[in-house]
Amino acid sequence: MSFIPGIGLVRGMGLTLRRFFQPKATIKWPEEKADVAPKFRGRLQLLYDEYGTLKCETCFQCAQACPIECIDMGGVDTKGRFHVHWGPPETYGERREESALRRSGRPVADTAYAHFEGIDIAPLDAILDAHDYDPKELLAILEETQAEYGYLPVAALKHISRITGAWYAQIYGTATYYRHLRFEPPAVEAVAPAGQAQIAAEDGFRSALDAALGYGGRAN
Amino acid sequence: MTTLSRSWGNMTTLGKVVVPLLLLVLVGGPILTIAVGLWVGPWLLGVLSSNMGIVRFVVAITGVLLFSIPAAFIIIYMELKVIAQMNLRVGPDRVGPAGAAHSVVAGLKVLTKEDFTPKSADVIVFTWAPVIVFLTAVMTFLVIPFGPGFIDPVTGERVGGLVGQDMNIGLLYMFAVGGMTVVGLLLAGWSSFNKYSLLGGLRSAAQVVSYEIPLTLSVVGLILLAGTMSLQGIANQQEGWFTNWFVFRQPLGALIFFIAATAEANRTPFDLTEADSEIVAGFATEYSGMRFGFLFFAEYVNVFIVSALITTLFFGAWNAPIDINAILALVGLTPPVIALDPGSLGIGLLVLIGLAPVVLTALFALPFYLAKSSRPAWKALLIGFVLFNLFAMGILTLLAYIGWGWFAGLIWFFIKSFAFVFVFVWMRGTFPRVRIDHLMGFAWKWLLPAALLNLFLTATAIVVVKSL
């Protein structure tokens, strides 16, 4: 670009000399306070909603926006199925938790695979025994298993496959064919709104008020 | 007598020791002073004046040692502050006015730190290596001409000069002593019992030795022109207008000298010996406490020396850029001769000393007192006193500048030297570091041929001019 050797050095020197005379960016805290927007909270924390669950949806927008790429997120997606991760592997969070522990030789619990194991086999054995270990009664076995555990744990399916001799694919196919069988714990039960009785009471109060004020016949 | 004995009984043990000593000092001190003044003083003066060379040398060494530490402090502060400004920061501003005492406090911190010696280090060499580095830096001060000589009132000629020792091989001495720094660096690297220190020492030795050659060769042309290696002599030859400066007769030499001196002082972009932000601090890795402080100070003393040397050789040393006498002669005025001899005022001097502060303070305070009715008189007087001090300082500086050639020379020398210190700091704030192979390649493939070319051109020009 430049044909004069050393012109870049001179231009660089000129730049720093200009900077030398420019106003400075330093804010001398605590004597001076930065002029921040009133909406600014500056919190470095994840917020919880009113049900006590994390509001973070693991959308990674914060990690994408982070200018110095210091956000390193790992966890389970919102449906609790997949292990998701943002950021270089083997850094901060993972180093502290999984890989470092794994290198230390201790078994590490992976939250992403928590629903694959850790079930009590005894009730399942009882169910299988009641059905005489017959894979032809698979639907009944599955229904009773779901009634027992609340859903169909993968470990349970594998156990059924191993004991009855049926292929896992067959069992999995059966389980996925029927819509009332599920592979996850059910979502939080839809509790009737606490205000249902209150709304009825309010309606009664309002009609009484209407009657008292002479607005009879008003549609509620 | 009872009072005395009671007082004696009331005193603590410490008081019983201190009070007699105090009396002894109060009584014996004046007697001793008078005795020294009457008998020992003349004898001592005789001895000193008959050994003027030694006295001059000791005074010069003391002055140089006393000067080098504040100079290093000022340059360190300057570096912190200037680079901060260039990075759009404020820089140190907590200790002292605008953070001016920052580097002093940092020096005190270095003094209080633990002085650690590695287990297998060569203790003697390890201890003395920083001393060698620092002393070589300080010793080069000895030949730097800070100002022109005093004018002998009898002969009317310049004698000596504000220079520690005006050697006729001053420049050679400068390079010789400056080259000894390498020994210190190598010793520091070797004695640390650390392979990284050793490598750092070798690395810095390679760099400093390589750049020593173009540095020395670049001034050979100047020596040919000047015909002397005495720095005071070179300074004398650049008297008059700034066009007499050697930079206009040796531009290539000045450029090579500047670049090589940057590498010699281990400054960015050639600060690979330390490269504090990238690699282990080279030969200084194992040093801590004041030993590291010595290495650190030596670096900044070197910066000043290099700046002073550039000023002396190429930028007119202590000469003002404008020949004020020539301008005055052109206008038709004779330069004023102000002999600063306050004694000639006689009794008027006492009146001046007594009255001037009071009258001038009141005079300076008056407008401030009148301008704002709510301002109390003492505040106005305080302002007046400060203004009077500034005024008196300005007047005295002006008188000294006009009256004393060496004072004017000193001022110009420091202005120019610190301008070059600023350039070094400015470069540090701007340039990235050069890679080590580029560094060596630049010295051997570019600077050395350029220095030889400069020498060749200068010699040819001298021969041609003489044969005409």
| pLDDT band for position A199 (cuts 50, 70, 90) | confident
| A16 touches B at CB < 8 Å | yes
Report the DSSP pairing between strands B158-159 and B150-151: antiparallel
Chain B residue with minimum CA distance to A15: B430
> pLDDT at residue A220 above 50?
no
- The rounded mean pLDDT for chain B is 85
Smallest Cβ distance to A24: which of B88, B426, B430? Answer: B88
pLDDT above 90 covers a percentage of chain B that reads: 26
Q: Does B252 touch chain A (CB under 8 A)?
A: no
pLDDT digits (tens, 9 = 90+) for B216-252: 999 999 999 988 888 888 888 888 788 888 889 889 9
Answer whether B90's CB lies under 8 Å from B101's CB: no
- The 10 Å CB-count burial string (b at 16+, else e) for B136-147 is bbbbbbbbbbbb
* Residue contact A24–B429, C-beta within 8 A: no
pLDDT of residue B79: 92
Average pLDDT over residues B81-102: 90
Please give the model's pTM, rounded to 2 decimal places: 0.67
Q: B93 at the A interface (CB within 8 A)?
A: yes
pLDDT (mean) for B18-23? 88
Instruction: Kindly give, in sequence order, each residue whose CB lies less than 8 Å from that of residue A173, ignoring residues fewer than 6 positions away.
Output: none
Question: Pseudo-torsion of CA B391, B395, B400, B403, nearest 10°?
Answer: 180
Cβ neighbours of B380 (radius 10 Å): 21
Report which secondary-structure segment, H or E, holds B164.
none
Pairing of strands A73-76, A83-86: antiparallel
The predicted pLDDT at position A88 comes to 65
B432 touches chain A (CB under 8 A): no
Contact state of B86 with A24 under an 8 Å Cβ cutoff: no
Average pLDDT, chain A: 77
Calculate mean pLDDT across residues B192-218: 89
pLDDT at A154: 84
Q: Write out pLDDT tens, residues A147-178.
A: 998 888 888 888 898 889 888 888 888 888 88
CB contacts < 8 A, A to B, total 34
Name the packing angle between helices B405-430 and B289-314 (round to 10°).
Answer: 110
User: Where residue A94 falls among pLDDT bands split at 50, 70, 90?
Assistant: very low
Q: How confident is the model at residue B84 (pLDDT cuts 50, 70, 90)?
A: very high
Does A217 have pLDDT greater than 60?
A: no
Length of chain B: 468
Q: Is the N-terminal amide bond of B92 cis, ω within 30° of 0?
A: no
**Do the chains contact at A13 and B427, CB–CB below 8 Å?**
yes
Name which residue leads in pLDDT, B407 or A87.
B407
Which among B207, B201, B220, B265 is positioned nearest to B442, based on CA atoms?
Answer: B207
The structure tokens 């000023």 sit at B311
DSSP string, chain A: ---STTHHHHHHHHHHHHHHHSPP----TTTS-----TT-----S--B-TTS-B------HHHHH-TT----EEEE-TTS--EEEES-TTSHHHHHTHHHHHHTT-----GGGGGGS----HHHHHHHHHTTT-GGGHHHHHHHHHHHHSS--HHHHHHHHHHH---HHHHHHHHHHSTT--SSPPPPP-PPPTTHHHHHHHHHHHHHHHHHHT-TT---
User: A22: which chain B residues are within 8 Å (Cβ-Cβ)?
Assistant: 88
A76-85, B37-46, B290-299: which is most confident: B290-299
Closest Cα in chain A, distance from residue B76 (Å)? 17
Q: Which own/partner pairs from B440-446 qualify as long-range (CB within 8 Å, at least 24 positions apart)?
A: B440/B206, B440/B207, B440/B210, B443/B210, B443/B211, B443/B213, B443/B214, B443/B260, B443/B263, B444/B210
- The tens digit of pLDDT for each residue in A17-37 reads 999 999 998 888 888 888 888
Among all chains, which residue has been given the structure tokens 């156990």? A159
